[in-house]
Amino acid sequence: MLDDIVISRAITEEYFREFLDSLESEVIIVGAGPAGLCAAYHLARSGLKVVVFERTLRPGGGVPGGGMMFNKIVVQEDSRPLLEDLGVGLKRYEANYYVASALELLGCLLVRSIKAGVRLFNCISVEDVLIYDKKVAGVVINWSAAQLAGLHVDPLTARSAFVVDATGHAAEVAEIVSRKSGGKLFTSTGKIIGEKPMWAEVGEKVLLDNTKEVYPHLYVCGMAANAVFGGPRMGPIFGGMLLSGQKVANLIINRLPKD
Ligand code: 48F
């Protein structure tokens, strides 16, 4: 026998048990694209409590679209160990170029991060931040559906020791902090510099340097890092996104015990 109400109660109770337990954490990651998911996986694997908020119904950001909806991605040699660790099959194309299934990468990122303990909430948008004593201390969240419908719904909050902006090209969290702090980001202008035109070689090269703290207790990774610090975009090569996620995780892991 199956009781419709037991099914509804199971979903509701389990969702809100996890949600309540996620209101305070060590790291909140905004955006479940390749950089955010890779960061979440490495942070959770090191034993930290990690919460990811993703605006859309389907996590993965730009991964499943591959290049122009051709669902393959390219990665370079230095990111190969990371993909192998995730369990993603790679096909050598020519020296320093490997091709992978975009969907397999997304599947592996999701499975590995959730099994490592990441709490991933889709359909929730970050619309603001908490700033206590000039440090980012968490995020302000709302149902994406409420935003899409234009409903006047007040948000809720989630607190964490660190926040990571992994929102991609728009660098939404850094943009909010820049606006609300009066341009106090750790960039040359204090504001978002803005991404430069496509150039895979340079974009991938500067990405790891740009992956860092951009305001006290706010880090940027992935395309958001190049957008904030003025690096070029790089299109459907994804090695840098994954390495950037891993780097931001290591920066936070090395810092947490001291704070
Ligand atoms: O855009 P996205 O895939 O960012 P990424 O991880 O990777 C960039 C590549 O996809 C590609 C590229 C490759 O070289 O250049 O563009 O840096 O993933 C960002 C995720 O963040 C979500 C968004 O829906 C997407 O899934 N997101 C954006 N803003 C918010 C958000 C927000 N305010 N709240 C919650 N999620």
Segments making up each domain of the chain, as ranges: 25-258
**Do the beta carbons of residue 29 and residue 40 sit within 8 Å?**
yes
Q: Is there an atom of ligand 1 within 6 Å of 166 CB? A: yes
For the CA of 240, the closest atom of ligand 1 is 14
Q: How far is CA 258 from CA 40, 161, 251, 253, 254, in A?
A: 20, 12, 12, 10, 8
Q: Is there an atom of ligand 1 within 6 Å of 31 CB? A: yes
| pLDDT band at residue 256 using 50, 70 and 90 as cut-offs | confident
Residue type, 110: L
Q: How far is CA 137 from CA 11, 108, 155, 232, in A?
A: 30, 30, 16, 30
pLDDT at residue number 215: 98
String of b and e for 132-150 (b: at least 16 CB within 10 Å)?
eeeebbbbbbbebeeeeee
Residue type, 258: K
Nearest protein CA to atom 29 of ligand 1, as residue? 167
Beta partners for residue 187, in sequence order: none
Architecture of domain 25-258: 3-Layer(bba) Sandwich (3.50)
Nearest protein CA to atom 12 of ligand 1, as residue? 235
The distance from CA 96 to its chain's CA centroid, rounded to whole angstroms, is: 26
The chain-wide mean pLDDT, for the chain, equals: 97
Percent of the chain at pLDDT > 70 equals: 99
**Do the beta carbons of residue 36 and residue 221 sit within 8 Å?**
yes
Q: How far is CA 97 from CA 66, 148, 188, in A?
A: 15, 39, 34
Mean pLDDT along residues 97-121:
98
Number of C-alpha atoms within 13 angstroms, CB side, residue 178? 23
Mean pLDDT along residues 184-213:
97
